[in-house]
Amino acid sequence: MGFGSVAEIEEKAQKEQCKLWEAILHDDMRERQVDRLEAIGKMSNMYIAMKEANESYDKDLRSRSGLSGGDGEKMIEEVQKMQNLTGEFVGTVMANALKMGESNACMKRIVAAPTAGACGVLPAVLITYEQFYHIPEEKMLEGMYLAAGVGQVIAQRASIAGAQGGCQAEIGSASCMAAAAITYIRGGSAKQVFDAGAFALKALLGLVCDPIGGLVEVPCIKRNVIGSVNAITSSDMAMAGIESKVPLDEVIDAMAEVGDLLPCSLKETSQAGLAQTETGKKYLVVQN
C-alpha cells in the first residue's frame, strides 16, 4: 500500500467517490497487481485464520517458559459467572485477547496484526463484535481493510516494531487499527473513524517494551487486553461525537518522536522496566 497519511486515504475515497475501505482495496489491487476478487479473498483468508485461532484455543496448553497459558479460560469463566464489572461483551473481548496472545506464546497459528506480540487486539475486537451483533462477514472484511490502511500509514510514518518504537508501536498501533476498524463497521464517518484511532494511539503513547526474559509473554499478553478495551472506549467516544483535538496523522508522528526518544533499554532489550524487577531478572537468568 502506498498511503503516506490517513488524510490521503480520505482524499482518495473522495476523488474516486468510493468508501474508505474501497480506497484501500484499490491501492492493494494496484500494488499487488491482483483483481478485486483475489484481493478480497486474501483478506477473507486472514480473517478466517483469526477466527480459527480463536476457536482452537487450548486452555490446557502452557508455554515452554511456563509464563502463560490458561488465563483466557479463566476470563471466560468469570464472564459466564457474570462477576466481571465490564459486562459480557467487553469481558469476552478481554478473554479473546488473552486467548490469542497465549496461543502465540504456545506457538500456535495466529495472524500478526500488525505484529505477533499484538496479535490479540484486532481479532478480539472484531470477532467478538461480529458474534454479539451478528454482523455479516462482508462488513467485517471492510473493517479489516480500514485496519490495514491505518496500520500501513503507521508503519510508514512511525513504526510497528517494539524494538524500534517500544510497545506503543505494537499494542498502540494494534489498538489504533482496531478502533478505526470497529468505528467504521459501526457506521462512523471518516472523521469519527480516524478520531477513534487517534484516541486509541494517544492513550498508549510512551508505552515501553520491557518483556520479562526477553519473551513475548509478560506483560505483552495482558497488554493485548488493554489495547482491545482501549479500542472499544475510543470508538465509543468518537461515535458520541467527541473529537480528537490532534489529527491521527499528527498523533502517529508524535508516536514516532516518542519512540525515537525512548532509550534502547526500553525497546525490547529487557534491560529495564519489568524485565529488571527482581522477579523479571529470575527469568532472564533462566533464559540465558
Residue 1 falls within a domain, yes or no? no
Residue 111 falls within a domain, yes or no? yes
Q: Is the pLDDT of residue 145 over 70?
A: yes
* Residues counted in the chain: 288
**Number of structural domains the chain divides into:** 1
Q: Is the pLDDT of residue 287 over 60?
A: no
Residue 226 falls within a domain, yes or no? yes
Q: What is the pLDDT of residues 147-162, one digit of tens each?
A: 999 999 999 999 999 9
Q: What is the pLDDT of residues 215-245, one digit of tens each?
A: 999 999 999 999 999 999 999 999 999 999 9
Mean pLDDT of 167-175: 98
* The predicted structure's pLDDT at residue 111: 97
Domain residue limits at 205? 6-287
Q: pLDDT class for 57, splitting at 50, 70, 90?
A: very high
- Measured distance CA(190)–CA(23) in Å, rounded: 12
Q: pLDDT class for 284, splitting at 50, 70, 90?
A: confident
Q: What is the mean pLDDT of the chain?
A: 97
* The predicted structure's pLDDT at residue 1: 58
Residue 157 falls within a domain, yes or no? yes
Q: Is the pLDDT of residue 39 over 90?
A: yes
* The predicted structure's pLDDT at residue 286: 56
* The predicted structure's pLDDT at residue 217: 98
* 167-176 per-residue burial string, b: 16 or more CB within 10 A, e: under 16: bbbbbbbbbb
* The predicted structure's pLDDT at residue 2: 82
